[in-house]
Structure 1
Amino acid sequence: MKDFNTLTRAEMQIMNILWNKGCGMTTHEIIDVYPEPRPAYSTIATFMKILTHKKYVTSYKRDGGGKTYVFSPLITRAEYT
């Protein structure tokens, strides 16, 4: 098993959204299901970069989606806990 970096509370909240959804999500889709008060787009985008760097999520460009990235978890909730 990999040695994972511990997630911050905010990172964990995003990971829980991805795990609950069960499939890849764009930054806008994550914000849409985020509880109020919703963070700014740039805040979530920054967290997605951090989570990608920490190897918790992977991203790919949506077909025909221009600059839109879809983020998917690389580990399961069970693997993290």
Structure 2
Amino acid sequence: MGQFQSLSESEMEIMRVIWDAGSPVTAAELLELFSHKGWKIQTMSTFLSRLVEKGVLSVERRGRSNFYTPAVTEQGYQKLEARRLVDEHYHGDLLDFLAAFYGGEPLKKEELDTLRRWFEQEAEHAD
């Protein structure tokens, strides 16, 4: 994927539709799904080109149409976005991120139990 680039709000909307589609989609199909936005085909084509450039979307030419499929899963994108957030805003320090996220508020017992189990699993994989 090269260097990770975050998606804009509109790009995320498009990707969510593509992730949910479960099969390749065309620009025309997407344009119909987003008709409420009033976008023209050129606008949709620009978004799709950017998504391909960012490495989150793959394109395959079939006849006269381009078919678009995700190049990364939604969970994969979320993982990359989370890592970017921690790296850029918290100098890669996950503990600083968690401290800022909770801001001194106490965690619920269920949250602590879930975190504890997650850290235990991660520690097993680190050995």
Task: Give the TM-score of the pair, scaled to structure 2.
Answer: 0.56
Mapping for residues 53-72 of structure 1, pairs under 5 Å: 53-62=53-62, 65-66=63-64, 68-72=65-69
SS state at 2:68 partner: strand
Structure 2 residues not aligned, in runs of 5+: 79-127
RMSD, aligned CA: 1.8
Mapping for residues 1-81 of structure 1, pairs under 5 Å: 4-34=4-34, 36-62=36-62, 65-66=63-64, 68-81=65-78
* Structure 1 outlier segments of 4+, above 6 Å: none
Q: Which amino acid aligns with 1:42?
A: Q
Structure 1 residues not aligned, in runs of 5+: none
Higher RCO, Cα 8 Å, sep 6+: 1
Partners in 2 of 1:28 and 1:35 — Cα distance?
A: 10
Aligned residues with identical type, % of pairs = 26
Larger Rg: 2
Aligned residue pairs, count: 78
